[in-house]
Amino acid sequence: MAARSVNLAVIPGDGIGPEVVAEGLKVLAAAAGDDLSVATTEYDLGARRYHATGEVLPDAVEAELRGHDAILLGAVGDPSVPSGVLERGLLLRLRFAFAHYANLRPVKLYPGVATPLADRTPEDIDMLVVREGTEGPYAGMGGVMRKGTPDEIATQDSVNTRMGVERVVRYAFAKAAERPRRHLTLVHKDNVLSFAGDLWQRTVREVGAEYPQVTVDYCHVDAAAMFFVNRPERFDVIVTDNLFGDIITDIGAAVTGGIGLAASGNVNPEGDFPSMFEPVHGSAPDIAGRGVADPTATVLSAALLLEHLGLSAAARRVEAAVAEDLQVRAKEGGERSTAQIGDDLAGRVAGQG
């Protein structure tokens, strides 16, 4: 059988980004096996490039990225760059330009992983957060007037369109329909953010009519944040606004063992644009270059990438390798370097091949 080939754009980025991406690629290669050839092109974007050239994301680079099948990103950011420059200029720009409206964030406690929660087991925490990725408070709308005076006013506008809400809601219903529990929770704050909340509620109700097999409920974001800690078993699939999703998925990362394990996919389900996969963690400049970063979140993001490309079996192999590795860690302890963890994971994936 002729190998399928995938053109992958790789943005290693800053800090620990390059270290974890190297391991992500190692495991991806192992998972690809003979059925898939992964051709990678590296793009130097992030703090280094910004300092060297003043550029964040040249239009020509965006156009090149657009030509790829998918993007794997490590992490961008450094304290030396003003807050927001890379986030808005690179990450959000790509999410918006490539219509990454389904920001997928599994929140799953793997066996053996230490959770800060007492008495919680993997049965209790297994959800999928589908965070809207292209609008809401992230739209960048708003402004400031009378800046620097006692009369200054700064506004920040959340923009929610029926089109934007409906496509992510529909995606979330489809995901929920595939899971054993078939339950979807809308998380919002409709008692206060009434205009946006009403649009989300109506859209969930209307799209939900097409999915009679999926049960639906609603939860205010403040209550949801609390339930992530004291009733996580309450959730299966969650669909939510861009900002609420940002916040609750970090709680999700915390309760499932920390940001070192949290994966994400910025997905354009139609495939009109390349989807982008990245660990939820940042560039962690304090530990960069020492080979101590945990590449697991990047490896799990690579599994999401494989799944997105339709290579479900390969995705399952990567996840299974991670699950095994985490259990071995729990039993044997011991410190491994970033590269050793990557080697071990790649070995396990190959072994299952």
Dmax (CA) for the chain in angstroms is: 70
293 with 16: CB under 8 angstroms? yes
111 binds a copy of itself (CB under 8 A): no
243 with 138: CB under 8 angstroms? yes
191 binds ligand IPM (CB under 6 A): yes
143 binds a copy of itself (CB under 8 A): yes
3-state DSSP assignment of residue 127: strand
Alpha carbon distance 51, 49 (integer Å): 5
- Give residues 259-288 in contact with ligand IPM (rule: CB under 6 A): 280
78 binds ligand IPM (CB under 6 A): no
Q: Considering the candidates 78, 246, 294, 344, report the single residue annotated as catalytic.
A: 246
Binding residues with ligand IPM: total (CB under 6 A): 8
Type and span of the H or E element at 248: helix 242-255
226 binds ligand IPM (CB under 6 A): no
> Which range binds a copy of itself by CB under 8 A, 50-58, 136-144, 265-273, 302-310?
136-144
Alpha carbon distance 112, 99 (integer Å): 36
Backbone conformation region of residue 336, classed left if phi is above 0, alpha if psi is from -120 to 50, else beta: beta
**Separation of first and last alpha carbons in the chain:** 16
- Give residues 80-119 in contact with ligand IPM (rule: CB under 6 A): 87, 91-92
Q: With CB cut-offs between 5 and 8 Å by kind, which of a copy of itself, ligand IPM, none does residue 156 bind? A: a copy of itself
Q: Considering the candidates 43, 171, 189, 344, report the single residue annotated as catalytic.
A: 189
Based on the residue annotation, tell me whether 189 is a catalytic residue of this protein: yes
In angstroms, give the least distance from the CB of 156 to a copy of itself.
Answer: 4
210 binds ligand IPM (CB under 6 A): no
247 binds a copy of itself (CB under 8 A): yes
Find the binder of a copy of itself among 116, 271, 310, 351 (CB under 8 A): 116
159 binds a copy of itself (CB under 8 A): yes
C-alpha dist (Å) from residue 244 to 187, 220, 301, 308, 347: 8, 10, 21, 24, 38
3-state DSSP assignment of residue 223: helix
Q: With CB cut-offs between 5 and 8 Å by kind, which of a copy of itself, ligand IPM, none does residue 292 bind? A: none
In angstroms, give the least distance from the CB of 322 to a copy of itself.
Answer: 20
Query: Given strand 70-75, what is the order of strands in its sheet?
Result: 36-42, 4-13, 70-75, 275-279, 263-267, 102-108, 126-132, 237-240, 183-188, 215-220
Based on the residue annotation, tell me whether 250 is a catalytic residue of this protein: yes
Nearer to a copy of itself, 142 or 351 (CB): 142
In angstroms, give the least distance from the CB of 88 to a copy of itself.
Answer: 7
Alpha carbon distance 283, 260 (integer Å): 11
14 binds ligand IPM (CB under 6 A): no
Q: With CB cut-offs between 5 and 8 Å by kind, which of a copy of itself, ligand IPM, none does residue 269 bind? A: none
In angstroms, give the least distance from the CB of 90 to ligand IPM.
Answer: 9
3-state DSSP assignment of residue 26: helix
Q: Considering the candidates 43, 50, 138, 171, report the single residue annotated as catalytic.
A: 138
C-alpha dist (Å) from residue 266 to 10, 99, 322, 329, 343: 14, 9, 21, 29, 26
Based on the residue annotation, tell me whether 331 is a catalytic residue of this protein: no
Show Cβ contacts of residue 319 under 8 Å, excluding neighbours closer than 6 positions. Answer: 300, 303
Nearer to a copy of itself, 30 or 90 (CB): 90
Type and span of the H or E element at 51: helix 47-53
For residue 135, which of 274, 243, 239, 277 has the smallest C-alpha distance?
243
Show which residues are catalytic.
138, 189, 222, 246, 250
Residues binding ligand IPM (CB under 6 A): 87, 91-92, 191-192, 222, 246, 280
Residues binding a copy of itself (CB under 8 A): 83-84, 87-88, 92, 115-119, 137-138, 140-144, 146, 148-163, 166, 189-199, 202, 221-223, 225-230, 243, 246-251, 253-255, 258-259
